[in-house]
Structure 1
Amino acid sequence: MLVVVALFAIYRANTGTATGAASDRYDVGSPGIGAVAPDFLLPNVTAPAGTGGTPATTRLSDYRGKTVLLYFHEGLGCQPCWDQIRDLQKDPAALAAMGADQLLTITTGPQDLVAQKMHDDGLTEPALVDSDLRVSTQYQANRYGMMGSSSDGHTFVLVGPDGIIRWRADYGGPPRFTMYVAPEQLIADERAARAGS
């Protein structure tokens, strides 16, 4: 019996559910709850360009003291991903209900096309472009999508004001390949994870 319990504990740890935060709707990748969120510096295509027309950049550590919801998404070919940004942008109460002060969106793709899509869809939240997947790989957000490891899936990481991850949900993986999560479901999932920790 002890061997069965030990094997189950190993399985739970390897599937990302040891934190009690995963559900049948999403996985929990690494770094997960309680880990320090890796800092990054990425071009921000919704911010005013710097000198010489170069894109402004944003660091996660720029938001130290605030709670930030990182949203890694598939990008240009995924309209539900842009709808997700739109619905979170138009409902600041949803972000507040999760304790988030700021939403930062992160995707791959050419900077000019991501900027154009944000403009065309009337989106103003910071759009960070991770063209080489360096940050996405660091957060393992490219393990939970429809395109294999070549793009992000649908990952949310809630980073507290101290830089510690408070909640994480990777919705994009098989077999469901979720590409949109209603804001009220995000709130419910974050609260359920917090209550279970």
Structure 2
Amino acid sequence: MNNSQKHYVIIATEIIIAVIVLGFVFIKSTSKPATKTQAQTQSSETSMADHHKPKAADSAVFDGLLGKAAPDFTLPSYDGKQISLKDFRGQNVILFFNEGLMCYPACWNQIVAFGKDNAFKDKNTVVINITVDSKDDWKKAIDKMPELAENTVLLDTERSVSNLYGVLILNSSMHRGQFPGHTYIIIDKEGIVRFTQDDAQMAIRNKELLAQIEEL
């Protein structure tokens, strides 16, 4: 191999090495942004998931009711009366906070079942159903299920009593902050809260509640 040929071989080798180096640099430089973008995407997806994740229920107010005097309140009934909790002193009281109009048929059936069950009257117990519906909205429910009119339903339209008892942000509420779920509070004849239950099952609980009344 003469000097001229050696010169061309050296040049060709240098070119090949240069191409390999440039290719390595290119691959490395393009892979970094892809990795960074993937990390950013994962971070963004995590952030969005956290944003849509429902807030944990805060039951501090509700849990603090047991053993204490039930907060008094006055609310209008569907038929226009002003009903106060203190009016029932000397009787056991069950407060049933529920989703009202939007909870068809479960809550409606629960309310009607209370009214038809004479066992509560026999136990000197009054059931007060509380919804956050307006009078016009509750009329829609009565028009569809007339038996509802035979029960005491109070309209907590401003949500003042629901907030007072801490029932708007419990686990059973499907529209947390706006509607109560399915929550029972038993108050004894002296006005003391003796039993509380937040029930997401939407079942008729008359037997269980009567058993709790028996223990008072």
1:181–1:34: structure 2 CA closer, same or farther, 3 Å change rule? Answer: same
- Look up the SS of the partner of 1:162 in the other structure: coil
Deviation at 1:81, TM superposition (A): 0.5
- Change in Cα spacing, 1:149 to 1:100, as seen in structure 2 (3 Å) is farther
- 1:41-56 maps to which residues of 2 (within 5 A)? 41-45=74-78, 47=79, 55-56=80-81
Of residues 95, 100, 125, the one that matches 1:70 is 95
CA distance 1:115–1:39, change in 2 (3 Å): farther
Match of 2:204 in 1: 181
Q: Unmatched 5+ residue regions in structure 2?
A: 1-57
Structure 1 length normalisation: TM-score? 0.69
User: Would you say 1:39 and 2:64 are equivalent positions?
Assistant: no
Counterpart residue number, 1:82: 108
SS in 1 for 2:142: helix
- The within-5 A match list for 1:132-143 is 132-143=158-169
Residue 142 of structure 2 corresponds to residue 118 of structure 1: yes
Q: CA deviation at 1:184?
A: 2.2
User: For residues 158 and 191 of structure 1, do their structure 2 counterparts lie closer, same or farther at Cα, with a shift above 3 Å needed?
Assistant: closer
2:185 aligned residue: 157
Q: 1:91 and 1:119, CA in 2 relative to 1: closer, same or farther beyond 3 A?
A: farther
The one-letter code matched in structure 1 to 2:163 is T
Against the structure 1 CA distance between its residues 116 and 57, is the aligned structure 2 distance closer, same or farther, given a 3 Å change threshold? Answer: farther
Q: Match of 1:83, SS?
A: helix
Distance 1:15 1:31, change over 3 A: closer
Task: Choose between structure 1 and 2 for higher RCO, CA contacts under 8 A separated by at least 6 residues.
Answer: 1
User: Any unmatched runs of 5+ in structure 1?
Assistant: 1-13, 17-27, 48-54, 173-177
Shift of 1:116: 4.0
Please tell me whether the aligned partners of residues 107 and 129 of structure 1 are also in contact (alpha carbons under 8 angstroms): yes
Residue of structure 1 in register with 2:22 after alignment: none
Q: Say which structure is richer in helix.
A: 2
Identity percentage of aligned residues: 30
* Alignment RMSD (CA, Å): 2.6
Work out the CA distance in 2 between the residues paired with 1:56 and 1:96.
21
Letter matched to residue 158 of structure 1: I
> Which residue is equivalent to 2:156?
130
Shift of residue 119, structure 1, vs aligned partner = 5.2
Contact 2:129 2:154 in 1 (8 A): yes
- Paired residues in the alignment total 154
Q: Please report how far the alpha carbon of residue 181 of structure 1 lies from its aligned counterpart in structure 2 after TM superposition.
A: 3.2
Partner of 1:170: 198
TM normalised by structure 2 equals: 0.63
- Other structure's SS at 1:142 match: coil
> Are 2:99 and 2:180, in contact at CA under 8 Å, matched by a contact in 1?
yes
